[in-house]
Chains A and B, each alone.
Chain A
Amino acid sequence: MTNAPAITLSGSYRLDQIPLFSDVNLHLQAGEWTCLLGKSGMGKSTILRLILGLEVAGAFTGDITAGDGAPIDGRASYMAQTDLLLPWLTLRENVVLGARLRGDTADLGRADQLIDRVGLRDYRDAKPAALSGGMRQRAALARCLMEDRPVVLLDEPFSALDAGTRADMQDLAAEVLAGRTVLLVTHDPAEACRLGHRIILLTAEGTQNWPVPDSAPIRRADDPQVLQGQAALLAHLRGAAA
Chain B
Amino acid sequence: MMNLLKRLQYPILAPLIGLSLWQAVVWLTNAPHFILPGPLRVAQAGYKNWESISGHALVTATEIGLGLVIGILLGVATAINLATSPRLARLSLPLLVFTQAVPVFALAPILTLWFGYGMGSKIIMAVLIIYFPVTSAFYDGLSRTPSGLLDLARTMGARPSQVMWRIKIPHALPSLASGLKLAAVYAPIGAVIGEWVGSSNGLGYLMLLANGRAKTDLMFASVFVLAIMTVVLHRLISMLANRVSAMAASGEAPPKI
What is the interface of chain A, defined by CB distance below 8 A to chain B? 49, 52-54, 74, 76-78, 80, 82, 84, 86-88, 97-98, 100-103, 127-129, 147
For chain A, what secondary structure do more than half of its interface residues adopt (helix, strand, loop), or is it mixed?
A: mixed
- Across the interface, B155 reaches (CB within 8 A) one of A52, A87, A127, namely A52
Q: Is the CB of B152 within 8 A of A74?
A: no
Q: Is the CB of A87 within 8 A of B250?
A: yes
Min CB gap A147→B, angstroms: 6
- Across the interface, B250 reaches (CB within 8 A) one of A53, A77, A129, namely A129
Comparing B22-30, B83-91, B156-164, B214-222, the segment that makes contact with chain A is B156-164
Q: Is the CB of B249 within 8 A of A101?
A: no
Min CB gap A54→B, angstroms: 5
Task: Verify if B170 is at the interface (C-beta below 8 Å from A).
Answer: yes
Task: Verify if B151 is at the interface (C-beta below 8 Å from A).
Answer: yes
Residues of A within 8 A of B229 (CB): none
Give Cα A84 to B158, complex, Å. 15
Q: Is the CB of B167 within 8 A of A86?
A: yes
Q: Is the CB of B248 within 8 A of A87?
A: yes
Min CB gap B166→A, angstroms: 6
- Across the interface, A102 reaches (CB within 8 A) one of B152, B162, B167, B254, namely B162
Q: Is the CB of A103 within 8 A of B152?
A: no
Number of chain B residues whose Cβ lies closer than 8 Å to a Cβ of chain A? 24
Q: Is the CB of A84 within 8 A of B152?
A: yes
The 5 closest A-B pairs by CB, nearest first: A101-B158, A98-B156, A129-B250, A78-B155, A101-B162
Mark B160-184 against chain A: 1 for CB-CB distance below 8 A, else 0.
Answer: 0011001100100000000000000
Q: Is the CB of B250 within 8 A of A128?
A: yes
Residues of A within 8 A of B43 (CB): none
Most buried by A among B151, B155, B157, B170: B155
Additional pairs, 16, CB under 8 Å, beyond known A97-B156, A101-B159:
A80-B148, A84-B146, A84-B148, A86-B167, A87-B249, A87-B250, A97-B166, A98-B158, A100-B162, A101-B158, A101-B163, A101-B166, A102-B162, A127-B250, A129-B249, A129-B250
Most buried by B among A76, A100, A101, A103: A101
Min CB gap A24→B, angstroms: 21
Our count of residue pairs bridging A and B at CB distance below 8 angstroms stands at 68
Task: Verify if B235 is at the interface (C-beta below 8 Å from A).
Answer: no
Q: Is the CB of B151 within 8 A of A78?
A: yes
Min CB gap A180→B, angstroms: 15
Residues of A within 8 A of B248 (CB): 87-88
For chain B, what secondary structure do more than half of its interface residues adopt (helix, strand, loop), or is it mixed?
A: helix
Give Cα A86 to B247, complex, Å. 12
Give Cα A78 to B158, complex, Å. 14
Give Cα A129 to B253, complex, Å. 13
A52-B155, A100-B166 given as contacts; is B249 within 8 A of A88 (CB)?
yes
- Across the interface, A76 reaches (CB within 8 A) one of B155, B163, B166, B167, namely B155
Task: Verify if B154 is at the interface (C-beta below 8 Å from A).
Answer: yes
Q: Is the CB of A78 within 8 A of B152?
A: yes
Q: Is the CB of B162 within 8 A of A84?
A: no
Task: Verify if B110 is at the interface (C-beta below 8 Å from A).
Answer: no
Min CB gap A56→B, angstroms: 11
A84-B149, A86-B170 given as contacts; is B157 within 8 A of A102 (CB)?
yes
Q: Is the CB of A101 within 8 A of B250?
A: no
Min CB gap B159→A, angstroms: 5
Give Cα A100 to B159, complex, Å. 9
Give Cα A82 to B151, complex, Å. 12
A84-B148, A100-B166, A101-B163 given as contacts; is B249 within 8 A of A77 (CB)?
no
- Across the interface, B162 reaches (CB within 8 A) one of A88, A103, A127, namely A103
Task: Verify if B36 is at the interface (C-beta below 8 Å from A).
Answer: no
Residues of B within 8 A of A84 (CB): 146, 148-149, 152
Min CB gap B144→A, angstroms: 15
Min CB gap B249→A, angstroms: 6
Q: Is the CB of A80 within 8 A of B152?
A: yes
